């Protein structure tokens, strides 16, 4: 039985912790709102009052929080993970954050004789529930191989993309691609409806051809059911696209499509849909 820590039991974190528990691991959890961890506690997880307490109990600690500022606080705050003995421990940040912060955590871990990976994920709430998340890792090969069997409990695709920060860069590439498919799917539905087409038939037909993509297959049906629950929050996608554009600027890249997607999702957030799922982009057109 492995002692595993998990900080951040949100929409995806809850499902990941369940996979860890079902595999027979002893799991210590912390979340800013304890209520969001109550189901997991009933299922056998152990509650800790602070991230620091999690690090004291566990040899392998996963973090999955909202924003880079949250990651900074979880690791470096007065009750953070690095406020206790870290020698021999491994820290894996599943949050979509910045490459710069991933590099900082890596360097801090090294000085404390610990290991770290930046390992953001893709697959949303459905991938977390099914245990089929895609994990994009950055860090050392040694640490990657060490945690691989545990990460495999909640993922179907796990690759090391290079040194520290590489996982975050890969996730930015992923979000740039997702931005394109989400805006494309949304405009497709708006067009098809205005043309008087049967949207269920359109989704079925397009899913079998060159237009097929993950967003269409997973979010198209949700939109038709008016299900805007968050597999991935609008507010977090705005954050991710901002990071991607900031990183692109550092590399002297102009990404006009991603800039447009960022504007559209920022507009959606400004209309009070920040707590909805990303499929709520359709509400910029269908909001009655």
Catalytic residue of the set 89, 104, 129, 171: 171
Measured at the CA of 218, the angle between CA 217 and CA 222, to 5 degrees, comes to 115
Q: Residue 134 and residue 158: Cα distance in Å, rounded?
A: 6
Task: Provide the Cα torsion 190, 192, 277, 148; round to 10°.
Answer: -130
Q: In this structure, what token pair is assigned to residue 165?
A: 């920060």
For the question of residue 34 being annotated catalytic, the response is no
CA 58 to chain centre: 22
Residue indicated by tokens 């009933």: 42
The catalytic site residues sit at: 171
């Amino acid at each position: 039985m492995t002692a595993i820590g998990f900080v951040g039991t949100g929409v995806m974190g809850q499902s990941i912790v369940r996979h860890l528990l079902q595999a027979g691991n002893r799991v210590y959890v912390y979340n800013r709102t304890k209520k969001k961890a109550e189901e997991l506690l009933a299922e056998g997880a152990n509650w800790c009052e602070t991230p620091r307490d999690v690090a004291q109990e566990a040899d392998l600690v996963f973090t999955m929080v909202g924003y880079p500022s949250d990651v900074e606080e979880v690791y470096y705050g007065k009750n953070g993970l690095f406020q206790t003995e870290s020698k021999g421990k491994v820290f894996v940040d599943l949050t979509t954050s910045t490459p710069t912060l991933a590099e900082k955590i890596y360097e801090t871990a090294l000085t404390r004789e610990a290991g770290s990976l930046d390992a953001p994920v893709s697959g949303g709430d459905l991938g977390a529930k099914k245990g089929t998340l895609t994990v994009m890792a950055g860090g050392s090969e040694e640490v990657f191989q060490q945690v691989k069997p545990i990460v495999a409990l909640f993922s179907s695709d796990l690759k090391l993309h290079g040194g520290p920060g590489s996982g975050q860069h890969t996730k930015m590439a992923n979000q740039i691609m997702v931005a394109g498919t989400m805006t494309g799917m949304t405009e497709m539905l708006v067009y098809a409806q205005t043309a008087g087409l049967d949207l269920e038939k359109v989704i079925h037909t397009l899913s079998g051809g060159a237009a097929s993509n993950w967003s269409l297959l997973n979010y198209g049906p949700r939109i038709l059911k008016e299900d805007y629950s968050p597999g991935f929050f609008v507010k977090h996608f705005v954050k991710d696209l901002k990071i991607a554009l900031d990183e692109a600027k550092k590399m002297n890249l102009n990404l006009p499509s991603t800039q447009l997607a960022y504007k559209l999702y920022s507009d959606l957030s400004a209309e009070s849909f920040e707590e909805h799922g990303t499929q709520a982009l359709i509400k910029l057109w269908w909001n009655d």
